[in-house]
């Protein structure tokens, strides 16, 4: 719902590929429900910037995990 987004949008700080963990953490901290909607994409033309390279995929996974650990250790509430 748009009203929920309006309530939590000021708490977003990440603006890169690891935005998703921040979004989930912020929703959990604000006791908001999250519903994931599966999407079926058409076959990709070309190569993904992220998942087209094993190194970049692993790097993004590490960045996401480090962000989650960072938020957990800081006990940050937004």
Question: How is the chain classified by DSSP, letter by letter?
Answer: -HHHHHHHGGG----STTHHHHHHHHHHHTT---------PPPPSS--TTTTSHHHHHHHHHHHHHHHHHHHHHT---
pLDDT score of 65: 93
Distance CA 51, CA 57 (A): 5
pTM over 0.75: no
Average pLDDT over residues 40-65: 85
Phi, psi of 51 (to 5 degrees): -85, 0
> What is the average pLDDT score of the chain?
82
Average pLDDT over residues 66-78: 79
């Amino acid at each position: 719902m748009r009203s929920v987004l309006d309530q939590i949008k000021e708490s977003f700080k990440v603006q890169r590929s690891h935005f998703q963990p921040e979004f989930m953490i912020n929703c959990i901290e604000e006791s908001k429900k999250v519903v994931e909607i599966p999407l079926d994409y058409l076959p990709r033309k070309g190569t993904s910037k992220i998942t087209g390279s094993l190194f970049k995929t692993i790097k993004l996974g590490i960045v996401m995990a480090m962000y989650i650990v960072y938020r957990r250790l800081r006990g940050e509430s937004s």
